[in-house]
A and B are shown apart, each in its own frame.
Chain A
């Protein structure tokens, strides 16, 4: 299992500003995943954060808008840059500890960051 501490839990931000979300995991994991859920939408993967290499972004998401840091195997940050009201979402970090390749283990999530951009 894994316990993830995510902060902040919520924030209200002015458009044009940036917010950095942090996730700390209680164990070392290779990959950390960043998701967002816009109102009425599914959890959508933004990017996969790998320690020691650039994050891998999904279609529709770019590094300039969502820069990610992964300085070690237990910590990652996601920044939402130059925010607009469309960025109002719940942002979640997640890990899937895999003990051997191919095991279908469950995902563990942070508590989420509820972001409102005004």
Chain B
């Protein structure tokens, strides 16, 4: 059973501040790491899919890094805005070519205006 963990469980950040949170996963048999944003009453949407150690990806004010040797990924949000309020999920497939994803419990981010 693949164990994917996220911390913190929830986070309140002042508008304009930057923040980051963590996803941990087993470093052995790693294949890919996904980040999703899930806003209330909407579908989860993919932010990043990362596969290589040292990967860094960026989408606007959001970026992510990947360390497969130590089994963690960071998601960074620069200059938080109210629209960033959401639950951020990370997920990983159990093995190569496996379409099933195992999700972490998520980090619920609330931006305080």
Contact = CB atoms under 8 A, between A and B. Distances in A.
The SS class assigned to the B binding surface is: loop
Given A101-B97, A102-B97, A110 B105 contact: no
B68 to A, nearest CB: 13
Interface of B: 4, 31-32, 34, 36, 41-46, 49, 51, 89, 91, 93, 96-97, 99-106
Interface residues on A, range: 20 to 34
B31 to A, nearest CB: 7
A112 B100 contact: no
- Majority-rule SS of A interface residues: loop
Given A42-B103, A42-B105, A106-B34, A111 B42 contact: yes
Interface string A53-87: 00000000000000000000000000000000000
26 contacts: A9-B41, A33-B100, A42-B89, A42-B103, A42-B104, A42-B106, A43-B91, A43-B103, A44-B103, A45-B100, A45-B102, A48-B100, A92-B44, A96-B101, A104-B49, A104-B93, A105-B49, A106-B46, A107-B44, A107-B46, A109-B43, A109-B44, A111-B41, A111-B42, A111-B43, A112-B43
